[in-house]
Structure 1
Amino acid sequence: MKFLRYFLIIATLFTFHKGYSQANPYRDSVVQLYGVVMTADSLKGIPAASVIVEGRGRGTISNGDGVFSIAVLKGDHILFSSIGYKDKTIHIPADLPGNQYSVIQLLISDTTYLPATILKPRPTREQFERDFVNIPVQDDLYETVRKNNNEAQRRALLNSLPADGREAVNYQLRQQANKAYYAGQVPPMNILNPAAWLDFIQAWKRGDFKKKN
C-alpha cells in the first residue's frame, strides 16, 4: 500500500511538472540581456531609457551612457522607449543558444511639429500695464484663487496629500542617519529642548492638534 501511494504521488507530480513545462516552455531559459541604447542619427547613448519586458511587469533603465542589463526569458518581447524617441520592440529568440544576448538598440527621434506661435510685445510699458489690468477674469477663477490661498485649505491639502518619492526618501535617510548617530547611546529627550517647545507652541497656535472632521 505504501509503495502504491508513493507511486501515485510521484506520477501526479510528474504529470503536473510535464503540463507546467508545456505551458511554460521558456520558464528555465533565463537570458542575460545587455547592451546599449543609442540615437540613430548621432550614435550617442540615451540615458534613462526604459527597457521593459512586455507582459511581465519588469524592466530597467539605462545608465548615463545608455548601457543596460536585465535578466529575461527566451521568447520575451522587450520594449525600448524614451521621451523624444519612437518606441522599439525586439524579440528574444526562443532557440537562442547560450544564456547571453547583446544588442545595440538604435532609437529614432520622434519629431512633433507644433503650430507656429508669434509673440509680440506691447509697444510701451504703460500700454502693457493698462492691458494687463483690464484683462477680463471670470468669477470662477477668482473663487479658485481664494480657495487656493486659504491657509486652512493649504494645511488640509498638506495633511491629506501623500509624500512624493523625494520626500519619502529624504525622511527615510534622516531616520537612518539619526539612528546611526545615536547608535550605542540613549537619544536625547526633546522635553528639555527650547526649540522643540517653540515648535510645539507654534503648532498648537496654528491648530494642528485640533480634531479634523
Structure 2
Amino acid sequence: MKKLYFTIFTFFCFSLHKAHAQFETVRDSVVQLYGIVMTSDSLVGIPAVSVTIKGQNRGTITNGQGVFSIVVLKGDEIEFTHVSYKPKTVVIPKNLEGNQYSVVQLMIQDTVYLPATIIKPRPTPQQFARDFVNSKVPDDDIEIARQNNSAAKRRILISATPGDAGEAANVQFRNIANKASYAGQVPPQNIFNPAAWNEFIKAWKRGDYKRKN
C-alpha cells in the first residue's frame, strides 16, 4: 500500500512540475509590443494604422499620435497596414530576452491609381433635357423617413417585424391567463365579436387580404 501511495505521489509531483514548466514557458513567450508608426520622410505619427498579428483575428490601431501597444508572442509576425501607405511586416525575435519589445516603424506613402473615367456630353441639348427629366434621383434621408412614416409602410413594418422578448412573454402570459379564465368551458369565438368584425371590414377595405405578387 505504501508503494502505491509513493507511486501516486511521485506521479502527482511530476505532473505538477511539468504543468509549472509549461506555464513558465508560455509566460516567457508573452511579449508586450509597443511603439510608434511614423512617416518615413517627415517623421510624423500616423493615426489609424492597423497593427494585426498575421494569421490571427487580433490586433489594434494607432492613436492620434501614431502610438500603439499590443500583447504578442515571440515569433509572431506583425503587419502594419494603412490605406495610404505601403504595408510593413515586423517579426518578433524568438530569442528575445525579456517580455517587452519596442519598435519605431516607418511607412512610405503609397499612390493608388484609380481607373480612368471618360466624361462625354450629350449630342444635343434636347437629348440632355430628356435624359435629365427621366433620370432617377435617389431619395434622400428626409424622403426615406417620410415614406417610412406613412400609414401603409407602418402596417407593412408592423406585420413583418418580429416581436421582441418582452412582447413574446406578454403574449404567452395572456394565453395562459385566457386558458385559466375559461378553464372547463368553451372560450368565446371572435365570429360573434362586433369589434373583430369591425377590424376585419377595415382590413378588407384597405386591401390587406389582396394577393401580393
Q: Tell me how far 1:70 sits from its aligned partner.
A: 1.6
Output the aligned Cα RMSD. 3.7
Deviation at 1:103, TM superposition (A): 1.0
Q: Distance in 2 between matches of 1:154 and 1:78?
A: 50
Distance 1:48 1:126, change over 3 A: same
Write out aligned runs for 1:187-206 (5 A).
Answer: none
Match for residue 65 of structure 2? 65
CA distance in 2, matches of 1:86, 1:38: 12
Determine the C-alpha separation between the residues in 2 that align with 1:104 and 1:37: 6
Give the CA deviation at 1:39: 2.2
- Report % sequence identity: 55
Cα offsets for 1:76-101 (capped at 9, x unmatched): 21111112222211011122223322
Structure 1 residues 107, 126: CA separation in 2 closer, same or farther (over 3 Å shift)?
Answer: same
In structure 2, the residue matched to 1:5 is: 8
Q: TM-score when scaled to structure 2? A: 0.53
Q: Which runs of 5+ in 1 are unaligned?
A: 138-147, 161-213
Give the equivalent residue in structure 1 for 2:198.
none
Q: Please tell me whether Structure 1 or Structure 2 has the larger radius of gyration of its CA atoms.
A: 2
In 1: Cα distance, 2:6 partner to 2:111 partner: 71
CA contact (8 A) 2:30 2:72 kept: yes
For 2:153, give the aligned amino acid: E
Q: In 1, are the aligned partners of 2:28 and 2:99 still within 8 Å (CA)?
A: no
Distance change in 2, residues 1:113/1:31 (3 Å)? same
| Partner-residue secondary structure (3-state), 2:86 | coil
**TM-score normalised by structure 1 residue count:** 0.53
CA shift at 1:63, angstroms? Answer: 0.3
Equivalenced residue count is 146
Give the letter aligned to residue 47 of structure 1: P
